[in-house]
Structure 1
Amino acid sequence: MFDPLARKSNKCDQPFNVDCGDRIELQPPKGNKNCPRKNGFFAHPDPSICHVFFNCIDGQHIESTCTPGLHFDEYQGICVWPDTAGRTGCGKMEAKLKDGFECPKDQQADNRGQVVAHPKFAHPEDCQKFYVCLNGVMPRELGCSVGEVYNDEEQKCDAPENVPGWFHEIS
């Protein structure tokens, strides 16, 4: 879409990046099966395939896949949690992960006594992974970047030498 306020020389951008105000008309599409328009990011044509999307450039598509557990949101042009994408026909969200993890029923409080909205929990076997309970009830498995481990005390990914009990000096 044309963005007259863009500070770059090419003033065309993806629809989710342009505020058209009350300009709602678009040129007729010149797309194909995988590219409804010649350029843009588009959901897979099969509505039950929610983790695959197409990046179309001049009518040629490049198939991309979201990180496991995420769905493509065509309105934002990114992969998001399934409940955020709000797509239908993709399968329902489970309150229990495949490895059996469920969010604890008791609410977690921080050191000031405030309820933690999205509490985190260390993975029992993999020090690079951890769980987040969205709104305290919907579990998600996440992981730290290469070279980092989950620091349960700090509730964040950290260098191994900063995680108590993890780093062992070899004599």
Structure 2
Amino acid sequence: MMKPQNIGIILALLACLASFSAASSAGDYEELCRLFKNGTLIRKPGTCHQYIECFDGEGTLKTCPSDQSFDSNKSKCVETLENSHLYCGNRCEGKDGVWVSDPTECHKYFYCSDGVSLAGMCPVGQHFEETSQSCLHGLDSNCVDVNNICEILPDKTKFRKDDDCAYYYECKNGNHVLNSCIDSKNRKYFDVESGSCVEPNKIDCASHSKLNVCSASKTAVYKSDGATCRGYFLCKALEIVADLDPIWMQCPEGYFFDEDLQVCGKANTVVCTHNRCDGRGTSIVASSTNNCHNYIRCVDNKQVEEETCHFDHFFDETISACTSKIIYDKCCDGRD
């Protein structure tokens, strides 16, 4: 654990930190905006009149007219702010020799020197914890993706949980509340743009849910990630307890994970009704449904739609077209 408490060192670096603070104000806020849908507006902590506009995971810093302030509840510039607005103005006003959190990013903080706020950053993999005035390893921190972000966002704002696509946060009364897209029947993923839970093949996800994936086993076992055809988890052999943190892996492009055989096989030999477009770019591929009569249109590794060949035609993936020739691809033959 690293504590940012050596005031002698901090004071020696004040000039450096001041320069960093100015540079960071013009940053792209990627760590923050990756969690929110396009068009989300977030007031920049430490100011009343500046805000961040998120688009495609990046943020642009904008400024209200000189006589206005940014109202985070209304997501617009206004002439008068209510007294209840938090983080408006100097985060370090009236404070000296202490550190306060930056509510936009877990690993950032402000050092307060005679009321002046100077931006700082924890080492890679660590989060700043205001209560202990420390930088803690991410697993030991109470910070969830962002620090108290709902205090500067409108109520009912939804945003991603960065380490699990099946979960998301929603702002309620200034606090973030965790919600799940998993129930007893379905395992769906959160779509930040629509603010709803959708089928996993509709989401570009790199953080697949590990909930209830593994069981206690005396040998290592590979399990499908339940969302893609290439992805799988390595469940470690912990014998009497289940592995709660399995390792996610992927088959090479053009190969799918076969859970029955515990191997990666060529795509046209593996039955998979998850995302058959993963790793296959923009193309037309065979579906595992309807006895080789169906095919899937892929755009940028995601399924757009599934269609059926006319009459008694079959889909031949080798020519990316429907044909009168009977197809017996193992990925679909004999299955509804």
What range describes the TM-score normalised by the shorter chain of this pair? 0.3 to 0.5
Q: Which protein shows a greater Rg? A: 2
Under a length normalisation based on structure 2, what TM-score does the superposition of the two structures give?
A: 0.23
Under a length normalisation based on structure 1, what TM-score does the superposition of the two structures give?
A: 0.37
Greater relative contact order, per chain length (Cα 8 Å cut-off, separation 6+): 1
